[in-house]
Structure 1
């Protein structure tokens, strides 16, 4: 079938789009008419085929690989393909659909574009640490530009799951523990991907995941059960999903976990009652990888039963498992699903393709010139370097060891010092790992001949070679050195001789976090800590450059190491960005989007907890018959919102414009902030609120505003926030979204712990 014949078959396509407050949408009447006309020509097999999403045989992200793809495309048995890249390959696959299937319905092409495409940005928890909404949107825009240049039009991002258990490996893929910060980031990611016009050739359809509550899996173990009250769902875990939907996200992905006994992928209350009826979502829902098939192991029945359950729950597209493809026709004949169920999902998938402009031009994402000119550009790499530098969190800087002088000799020690393949971080499936700079290479490029670098491995990543193999999958290999630990440490100590300072590059490999990478012990591995102890005995200034995809337990390091820079995994330009910060070209400004516990026994530990009826008094470690531990205090190692700078910032004169807020008015909150250091820098000014008396128990603090502000050395600014009655709302016992009159406490400061406070009253 040639393209002109295809065009005649599917009728003329609407090219007139109307602008909305979110993303431009096609004329709904014309879209409905077009799709109804097309569906009237479709057989039941072709409709079910649209519900089938398969892998393209490249960068798969699960254990199952699709087979017979070409034959199925020609027969109309596939609606979309993911993990296939390059305009040439995607054009060839699209040709099969458009020219060789009966109706010529185009395919949609997806990819896990999580924190960049070829130009990799910091992992999502690192992006969240920037607290810079404009930069976060720019990273999504660049990812969309690059991915669409390579033929992709659908990304399985943003991942907006709230998590308060850093044992969970996928902590690295989210924005941390807070619903307000997570919601703000979800909005920016959706708008960055989708832009103002989904039919443009350089925008991506977003997919919000994982719906829902995946980050609350029991024991931090991936895919595990979640059991949660409705009040906690609506107030603490649902907000980022809803924010992404309200921002116009086109698709939603189900989560793997069960929720109060019903797995998300078969959960009609979640997928229909909440998502569609309460929130008004009108796009399509896709499963995660083989999630329908996994309902069998959840105990819900055989493949035909669980496929019918999922369809009737409101799940439209089956990723890889082909349960829909192989069972729905039989279920239809047996009355287990209805024609309306199949038609609903088919229509939503066709609408998604229509909104992307694929019926108008199926090959719009197959421009080889864009692939040559829009990927890994100097501008994109420069932005990646900038964002990485703003994502790093300075945890400690005793005696102002940092920034280091650009003179003399430095010892660079550690298993993560010379591993370029680990720098992009987990879920960087499209990154070119063979051409990513290591920390050592990046430092050498930035420093040139100004600073000599002595390198030594110092230790293996892990003592256990089997554990190390599991922790360095997908091309992230860190070759093991089979010498003894004593020999490796001796070599490292030799490398420190004659040096002015030591940089210890330690922590996790990139694949020690991410999917199916949960850990029960979340400290720096023991052999690396032994190396660090040996380096400390040299008496030289030491900077711990920490790589991690989750909050770690760093109690010993905080007590003993003079300087700690948490870099997460910074993406393509990690090496240069770390050098920028270590040697003072960039003043660190990152703030933690998640609490760091002192030990695993404190988990879950998060700032927005509830008071108990027996709270521990401030400043106390232990008091009998109070809510505390015998062996450790209740305080975190590093609180939410924490992060140091090479400058210092002084907060004073917190003022409210009124002590009584009427429901129709606005409360103005002003605070004076001064950069009292000698470096220019940025500070994230944070505002928290506490509802002192409520009809339900309320958190001791809730983030309600923040501003990232640039200050010259010595500069003082007055920062203003506005609070409205809507900012004080929550879901009450009846799940009504309300505010309640009464007294509130307001806090402003540099993190969730170190704050100024005042009070006001809401009257209605």
Structure 2
């Protein structure tokens, strides 16, 4: 008796899995499933060709076709198609960007796995990874909006709530939704500290406090990976070692003008602390950042001024030897070759080694102690370096051993396929969506709540007439509020604003990074003032990084910050249906001048902030919420 798993797989009653390698009906044992993982790794490693080993060391990028058919995939400009990556280059770690509906995504994943197990010499299945895709930020270099999954606040919102159990719940739900369509690796969490107010990637962090970041990161790993890693897990890649955030002038090292990472406050160890905590717990992979350390010393020795992924003192000396980490180290994306997307280019993030050839960069990254090249697809260069005796095959084996271990622990060799028929039913479940929306509402941070007619404006009473150019009348009505078409007809106005930034579009991805000036333009300030002259204003700024609210705040009766929240969640918080318990996960500066004079590596370092880290008001419920207060 046997049980079919797929056309290629067969499982016998004793648990042994067989696979039809060549489609000829002859079933061969599938990588010794009864053995311990360490023995399975060594057995397979001893049979792999150098080309197969090199393929394991690359983690490339693809997008799935809307049809869910692998044959319809279109490669990015200047990059290989999915078929070529998997069947010719033997790359079996793939970071997926665009995804269709869950059912079609599951179909695409199964086709991808069939291609991998049938076309490579030893049928190594694909590990499919993703950047975060459960929130509101859309940035092809860092995160995706929740479309077919439940929507939650950005990590900053979890920091605002500060509840480890909530993070554990989120991560468990996200894991269930990822695995439903075959995603088995998460290129997150981000353990960087939000210490430079202008830095564009703060929305993906847990804020400025290193202890809170560490505690929430541990809960995150509990929910995604579990302990130990197993067939139901999603393997996590903690980033960006040894801590991104202290960027010179707040610029991001994706771009040439943002490559310097600086520590004028001497806080390197402070940024390192969350990584120490997750390493002690155990995490599948770690990603170094692009940043080039300036003026940094370790153990009395100056650190070489090259990007962290190229830096042997950081990867081997600090991460491997001093901190004892023996998991996978995968570089950030595009350290070696140029990237292209949407008609824009981005030079290789080879900071400090720009003059090295592509092959020399590969060699330096391997010598630094990294196991895998993110966003690259040139395994032939590894093969060439071994043939030239510039890298020993034993060094390649050390990396491949780590990479295979994770694949085996995830159960991918036992069955890499997913259930297409039930993918839709396992994603965006009503209870998942409700939990996410409630978390959005809870993360709302009330910064100001002045009196109107003898009572605080918030929470808004049922029946109030509300004017809002951003929130739909239907959403207002569902919250028990009456939409007003003109400010003069309203009891209160709600203004939703995104935090300001400087739009840039010279390089690939640059337009998605909200960097530069934190001040709102004069037009916005005047508009809010004119509205406030007619009706009390509730300002709801979306803080993907700190914003300077100084010129807006005096004109607003109430201010409530959000970190990724739909209109319904915002209104649940403003009306008190859900208690907004958020506290600021970072300091809000009073001026650009105070930001410019602060030290990038020191949390909360601006002078005389408008609102301090951890600030947030509690809303006291009215005895009768059914009567309008103004």
Aligned to 1:625: none
TM-score, normalised to structure 1's length? 0.67
Per-residue deviation, residues 306-351 of structure 1 (Å, max 9, x unmatched): 001101111111122224x131122222232221221111111111
Q: 2:289 aligns with which of 255, 278, 294?
A: 255
Q: 2:362 aligns with which of 304, 307, 316?
A: 307
Pairwise CA distance, 1:174: 0.6
Choose the corresponding residue for 2:43, options 12, 37, 40: 37
Aligned-residue offset at 1:206:
0.8
**Paired residues of 1:75 and 1:102 also in contact (CA < 8 A):** no
- The total of aligned residue pairs comes to 542
What is the distance in 1 between the residues matched to 2:91 and 2:284? 20
Distance in 2 (alpha carbons) for counterparts of 1:128 and 1:543: 23
1:411-490 paired onto structure 2 within 5 Å = 411-413=467-469, 417-418=470-471, 441-447=474-480, 451-454=481-484
State the Cα deviation string for residues 416-451 of structure 1 (Å, max 9, x = none): x15xxxxxxxxxxxxxxxxxxxx654333333xxx3
SS in structure 2 of the partner of residue 214 of structure 1: coil
CA distance in 1, matches of 2:404, 2:601: 42
Within 2, Cα distance between the matches of 1:248 and 1:114? Answer: 23
Return the alpha-carbon distance in structure 2 between the equivalents of residues 503 and 136 of structure 1: 29
1:295 Cα deviation from its structure 2 partner: 4.7
> In terms of mean alpha carbon deviation, does 42-51 or 211-220 score higher?
211-220
Structure 1 match to 2:80: 67
Aligned equivalent of 1:565, options 560, 563, 566: 560
What do you get for the CA RMSD once the two structures are aligned? 2.9
Residue 332 (structure 1) aligns with:
386
* Aligned equivalent of 1:141, options 172, 180, 190: 172
> How far apart in 2 are the matches of 1:136 and 1:38?
37
Q: Is the counterpart of residue 409 in structure 1 residue 465 in structure 2?
A: yes
State the SS of the aligned residue for 1:386. Answer: helix
* Cα displacement string for residues 202-243 of structure 1 (whole angstroms, at most 9, x for unaligned residues): x31111011233211111111121133796211x10011222
Question: Which one of the candidate residues 514, 524, 527 is aligned to 2:523?
Answer: 527
Does 2:116 align with 1:113? no
Paired residues of 2:500 and 2:547 also in contact (CA < 8 A)? no
Distance change (3 Å), C-alpha of 1:678 and 1:403: closer
Q: Partner of 2:275 in structure 1? A: 241
> 1:501 maps to what in 2?
492
TM-score (norm 2): 0.80
> For residues 678 and 408 of structure 1, what CA distance do their matches in structure 2 show?
14
Structure 1: gaps spanning 5 or more residues: 16-29, 419-438, 456-494, 612-627, 648-676, 681-764
Structure-1 separation of matches of 2:79 and 2:29: 29
Structure 1 residue 292, shift from structure 2 partner:
3.1
Q: Deviations over 1:430-481 (max 9, x none)?
A: xxxxxxxxx654333333xxx32135xxxxxxxxxxxxxxxxxxxxxxxxxx
Q: Secondary structure at the match of 2:360?
A: helix
Query: Higher relative contact order at CA 8 Å, sep ≥6: structure 1 or structure 2?
Result: 2
By how many angstroms is 1:291 displaced? Answer: 2.1
Match of 1:228 among 263, 277, 284: 263
Cα distance in 1 for partners of 2:77, 2:285 equals 23
Q: Note the 1:708-727 alignment, pairs <5 A.
A: none
The 3-state SS of whatever aligns with 2:245 is helix
2:315 corresponds to:
271
Give yes or no for contact 1:505–1:547 (8 Å, CA) kept in 2. Answer: yes
Distance 2:325 2:570 in 1: 41
Q: Which residue of 2 aligns with 1:12?
A: 32
Alignment CA distance shift 1:51-1:441 (3 Å): farther
1:502 Cα deviation (Å)?
Answer: 1.1
Q: Distance in 2 between matches of 1:213 and 1:231?
A: 13
User: Which runs of no fewer than 5 residues in structure 2 stay unpaired?
Assistant: 1-6, 10-17, 22-26, 66-72, 100-104, 136-145, 295-304, 338-347, 625-630
For residue 291 of structure 1, what is the aligned residue in structure 2?
Answer: 335
Partners in 2 of 1:167 and 1:63 — Cα distance? 31
- Are 1:78 and 2:91 an aligned pair? yes
